[in-house]
Chain A
Amino acid sequence: MTTTTLTKKDILLESLGQLNFTNEPDFYQDLRQQALAEIENLELPTSKTEYWKYTRLGKIVNKTYQVTSGIEINIDQHLIPALDANIIVLINGLFNKSLSNIQEQEGVKVLSLSDGKERGVVIRDHFNKYTSTKSELFLALNNAYHTDGVCIHAEKNSIVEKPYHIINVTTGNQTISQSRNLFIGETNSSVKIIESFVNIEGSENFINNVSEIYVGENAQLEYNKIQNKEDESYQISTEQVYQKANSNFTINTITLDGTFVRNNLNIEVDAEGCETNLNGIYLGKDSNHIDNHTIVDHLKPNCNSNEVYKGILDNNSVGVFNGKVFVRPDAQKTNAFQQNNNILLTDDAVINSKPELEIYADDVKCSHGSTIGQLDDEAIFYLQARGVGKRSAINMMITAFAKDALGRISIEALKEYVDNKIETRFGN
């Protein structure tokens, strides 16, 4: 057990440094060393850092965290009803075999990351490839000190029917978890993944997780991220996505609850004919702080990207949206669409929205829209005129507003699950 304080970077490093990775192959140890060197030059972001302008880290870095493997827990309540999926459980950043239930499927390999490092040549080809160029402290911390995670490798031409459901648990008190996933979709493959982030028993747990996603030629990959962390818990989460030609990547980020949630989604579209869908819903309540930063980097021509993020902020919650679309000089004929809609339910709720476009090519169609407002009075009146009570009319409208962004979820059971969550929250 290691005790760490994040207030000063040095103390943090000293304590995390006690984690032992010496039984790993040299290749991976070298990567950790490189990340450590990078950390030396990085500082904790402050409000002066543009990338962290609206999100203060004070709440999470003023604590002493420990690294624990966690206790025996029951995950039943976090399963998605009626979902036929392979279950993979991570507890405090470690792979839990006994709680997981993985059936062999043809054309796909599922391993814990540490097993993968021992055995997989493919993993070596992809691991750390899409993260090393970004100098961001929390990413570098994960690079250097990640414990374990899931590696899903869909082989060439394999259409994987059954989705994978990863339940990423934090438990205990003031625990720090640094899980690391690697998803590889080879040429012509298709795979669907769900990852739920939950907090079971205990509070003030901090998870700093990273997923690297590679989508090969003509491949399809759908990643659904469900954040439903009750109690006091913190999350900084980063996805690094790399897309090859004619691939299709979809990510749905559903934030239902979380004291502090920061999502960094970076998508590099490095070949022609790609399609990228980024959808998100964030429902803030109490003093939640939910921050979504997305970057779609179009490097090559003839690609489409669609982004829709919807936020409903209640009580004194704070929402942050920062979407960035780059269109590089070569990326002609890019269509990029970005939309962010927000509803504030109280005067104590805050939203900071910053949709950005940076365009260096001329033959493109790019647009973004951002709105902040309330429900349409006339629509509510319309419903009232037809005998619907005002309260239900409002709830109906809010539900409809949020569900708008669910269209890209292709797993029916999951869609229903999220639907229900929204309805229990705002329904009658």
Chain B
Amino acid sequence: MKKVKAYTEEELEKNLENQEYKYGFTTDIESEVIPVGLNEDVVRLISSKKNEPTWLLDFRLKAFAQWQKMTEKDWAHVNYPEVDFQAISYYAAPKENVEVDWDDVDPELKATMDKLGISMDEQKALSGVAVDFVMDSVSVKTSFKEKLAELGIIFCSFSEAVQDHPDLVKQYLGSVVPATDNFYAALNSAVFSDGSFCYIPKGVRCPMELSTYFRINEANTGQFERTLLIADEGSYVSYLEGCTAPQRDENQLHAAVVELISLDNAEIKYSTVQNWYPGDKDGKGGIYNFVTKRGICHTNSKISWTQVETGSAVTWKYPSCILKGDNAIGEFFSVAVTNNHQQADTGTKMIHLGKNTKSTVISKGISAGFSNNSYRGLIQVNKNAKNARNFTQCDSLLMGDKCGAHTFPYIETKNSTAKIEHEATTSKIGEDQIFYCNQRGIDTEKAINLIVNGYCRDVLNKLPMEFAVEAQKLLEISLEGSVG
């Protein structure tokens, strides 16, 4: 028994430490990068490069003016050196003309996708997933566009949407996450480069999973994505977002904004798998991931966030739901894994405004190495939210005695009919559980995998099939180690 225990603790830890980032490679494509630094001219330059209308430039300038007045907040349970916003280039676009046939696409770019395991052709053939592939800010290829267009679904890059559907963009941009919401949302609003735009018309059920892959590629380019997703009355959409970044030593900044609008009777399912470069085992390098994600639910509508977070050196992310309409439902399912020197401060906000609104929060944190993993959540029931219901469960699993797991739930209730339950537990994998598996011929490594997988099952089950497989692979990368 003792031997087994020694293996669990030390060997596993060692394996975790030595686990290198599988997806670390750089694609060698010439990019057009504007000089580093940030000032009003840069904002104007980005806007003019993208040939944007005046209202959008005004939106950016207003956000920029506000951002200059704002300071970075330090309430999150993370530590990182101050980001030098003047040392980042705010725009990078592949130089080659991208409006070409799939066959003409730079072979290297294709290779990148292959390495990512999302080869276009394969994706097209096997899964029927339409991929809006974003490589350093400019959409390279959008497939299945025609098929979607038949149903009236708009799924394109953000810049295209600005040109082709300015009214929709103008109406909803900044309506859920105002330009001045927080420090990083303001920064994003000022300098966002590109992103995805999606509109599902009334009563349409999107026939396939919409998916976009982000990948930070150019060294020293912070990527500022903007996603705007509108589900019109009675529609349904499932949207997948996955992110990987090549291995780099400098810290890269990612400050995205995602806005979801779920109109009456609509449903949005938004899934994320994030495995950006977490830095090496000494905590050097890695992505700073400061993301603002928020959705608004109108009457009888539903937004469901599912996330599997295994990457990034520092994560600061709270996908939220504003349950504005009566009977609206918000859900949040999360697995966050931190290893080595990673830090994550993540969770959700559920704002109950309408009557009979419901929210469910399931958060599973796993910390290993020297990492710190925090859950921070807010459940707010306002005065008119009669019969609001919330269930929150956040569990933390600790592997090794140098890591930390923290829970910071905020519960604010102003209505007597609200029913709110919150529970949290923190523990490690029980020796008895491992012993039980050992007894039945399952070695310790596999046993840990089994237990971790079971522990995360509630969340992994919520992922669409295509993603669940990848998520499990990522958990393996993060925790399984090289043995076995």
From known contacts A50-B75, A359-B398, infer whether A372 and B419 are also in contact, taking CB-CB under 8 Å.
yes
Residue ID in chain B nearest A50 by CB atoms: B75
Q: How far is the CA of A370 from the CA of B428 in the complex (A)?
A: 22
Identity of the chain B residue whose Cβ is nearest the Cβ of A338 in the assembled complex? B424
CA distance A134 to B415 in the complex (A): 36
Query: B419 is contacted by which of A355, A359, A360, A373 (Cβ under 8 Å)?
Result: A373
Please name all residues of chain A whose beta carbon is closer than 8 Å to the beta carbon of B418 when the two chains form the complex.
344, 372-373
B54 to chain A, nearest CB (A): 37
**Which chain B residue shows the least CB distance to A347?**
B416
Name the residue on B nearest A355 (C-beta).
B409
* B425, chain A: closest CB distance, angstroms: 4
Tell whether A359 pairs with B401 under 8 Å between CB atoms, given A344-B415, A354-B411, A367-B426.
no
Instruction: List B contacts of A81 (CB < 8 A).
Output: none
Question: Closest chain B residue to A364 by CB distance?
Answer: B426
Q: Which of A358-411 contact B (CB under 8 A)?
A: 358-374
Interchain CB contact under 8 A, A374 and B419: yes
Residues in B whose Cβ lies below 8 Å from that of A355: 407, 409, 422, 424
Are B419 and A357 within 8 A (Cβ)? no
B71 at the interface (CB under 8 A from A): no
The proximity string for B residues 413-455 relative to A, scoring 1 for CB distances below 8 Å and 0 otherwise, is 1111111111111111000000000000000000000000000
Q: B408 at the A/B interface (Cβ < 8 Å)?
A: yes
Q: How far is the CA of A344 from the CA of B402 in the complex (A)?
A: 41
A373, B398: Cα distance in complex, Å? 31
Task: Report if A363-B401 is in contact (Cβ < 8 Å); known contacts: A346-B416, A357-B426, A373-B419.
Answer: yes
Determine if A167 is an interface residue (Cβ-Cβ < 8 Å).
Answer: no
Which of these, B402, B406, B420, B423, contacts A359 with CB under 8 Å? B406
Task: Assess whether B106 is interfacial by the CB under 8 Å rule.
Answer: no
CB pair B416 A358 closer than 8 Å? no
Bound Cα distance A354, B416 (Å): 18
Decide if A356 is an interface residue (CB 8 Å cutoff). Answer: yes
A353 at the interface (CB under 8 A from B): yes
Task: Check: A329 CB closer than 8 A to any chain B CB.
Answer: yes
Please, which residues of chain A bring their CB within 8 A of the CB of B399?
Answer: 362
Is B404 part of the binding interface, using a Cβ–Cβ cutoff of 8 Å? yes
Contact code string B41-62 (vs A, CB < 8 Å = 1, else 0): 0000000000000000000000
Q: Which residues of B contact A361 (CB under 8 A)?
A: 398, 401
B102 in contact (CB, < 8 A): no
A370 touches B404 (CB 8 A): no
Interface residues of A in 324-370 (CB under 8 A from B): 329, 332, 342, 344-347, 349-370
Asked whether B422 lies within 8 Å of A358 as measured between CB atoms, the reply is: no
Contact with A along B190-203 (1 / 0, CB 8 A): 00000000000000
Shortest beta-carbon distance from A340 to chain B in Å: 9
Residue of A nearest to B372 (CB): A360
Of the residues A350, A352, A362, A370, contact of B398 by C-beta under 8 Å: A362
Q: How far is the CB of A361 from chain B (nearest CB, A)?
A: 6
In angstroms, Cα B423 to Cα A357, docked, is 11
CA–CA, A25 and B251, complex, Å? 57
Contact of A370 among B383, B400, B409, B425 (CB under 8 A): B409
The residues of B that contact A373 with a CB separation of less than 8 Å are: 418-421
Q: What A residues does B404 contact at CB under 8 A?
A: 358-360
> CB-CB < 8 A to B406: which residues of A?
356-359
Selected from A347, A369, A372, A374, the residue in CB contact (under 8 A) with B383 is A347
- Nearest-neighbour CB distance to chain A for B411, whole angstroms, equals 4
| Chain A minimum-CB-distance residue to B77 | A358
Instruction: Establish whether residues B416 and A368, one from each chain, have CB atoms under 8 Å apart when the complex forms.
Output: no
Residues of B within 8 A of A358 (CB): 404, 406
When C-beta atoms are compared, the residue in chain B nearest to A367 turns out to be B425
Is B403 engaged at the interface, CB distance under 8 Å to the other chain?
A: yes
Contact of A366 among B408, B421, B425 (CB under 8 A): B425
**9 nearest A-B residue pairs (beta carbon):** A362-B398, A344-B416, A372-B420, A370-B422, A353-B411, A366-B426, A373-B419, A367-B425, A357-B407
Q: A350-B413, A357-B405 are in contact. List 13 more A-B contacts (CB 8 A).
A: A351-B411, A352-B410, A353-B411, A353-B412, A353-B422, A355-B409, A355-B424, A363-B401, A368-B424, A370-B409, A370-B422, A371-B422, A372-B419
| A and B contact pairs by CB, cutoff 8 A, 21 listed | A329-B402, A344-B413, A347-B383, A347-B416, A351-B411, A352-B410, A352-B411, A353-B422, A355-B409, A357-B405, A359-B404, A362-B398, A364-B426, A365-B427, A366-B425, A367-B425, A368-B423, A369-B424, A370-B409, A370-B422, A373-B420
